[in-house]
Amino acid sequence: MKTRIILLFISVSISYLSIGQNIYPIVYNDCNTSQFFLEGKEINATYDDKMLITDIIKTIEVKTLNKIKGTICFQVVIDTLGNHYCVSIKDELNSKGKKTDFKSIIDNHTKWSIPIRKGKKTTVSAMIRIEFEKEKIILKRMGYNGKIGWIELSKYELIKNK
């Protein structure tokens, strides 16, 4: 019930153009992101899913990576110069995952393309969901469409090595 209320609130309050809107509960205010578009039906700031998950997990010790379980979601704002900032996170990871500084990983170890929306450079917010399971890691790129709500824009599964 609580989840439905939260999703309803987010659905009602999110529009295509957000003014400093943080989607997830852990908010970071260390960057200037006063206005941006949410990715909708298409990806505006390209980043190959396989490369993105590789860039994220290569900074985590293998021993720790194998013990992380759960889900983490990131809101990354990418500006018209390609600068990017993790502005909010939803962390549903076990204790091993909570010890990992994912904001620093996103800010310092990923590289995004300059976002293009309707043929113009535009500041956008990319929504990334990573699910750490026993034998695989699943990365989902999410978008928000005002008519249908949250949609999966892309998905990549990485099988863990034993």
Reported as a single tens digit per residue, the pLDDT across 7-66 is 444 444 444 344 457 889 999 988 766 789 999 999 999 999 999 999 999 999 989 999
Categorize the per-residue pLDDT at 160 as very low, low, confident or very high, splitting at 50, 70 and 90. confident
Sign of the alpha-carbon dihedral angle for 147, 1, 71, 99 = positive
Q: How far apart are the first and last CA of the chain?
A: 38
pLDDT above 80 (res 6): no
pTM for the model stands at 0.83
Give the integer Cα–Cα distance in Å for 129 and 9: 20
The continuous run of DSSP H or E covering 105 comes out as helix 102-109
Q: What is the DSSP letter of 3?
A: H
pLDDT of residue 69: 96
Are 28 and 87 in contact by the 8 Å Cβ rule? The answer is yes
The answer to whether the CB of 37 falls within 8 A of the CB of 125 is yes
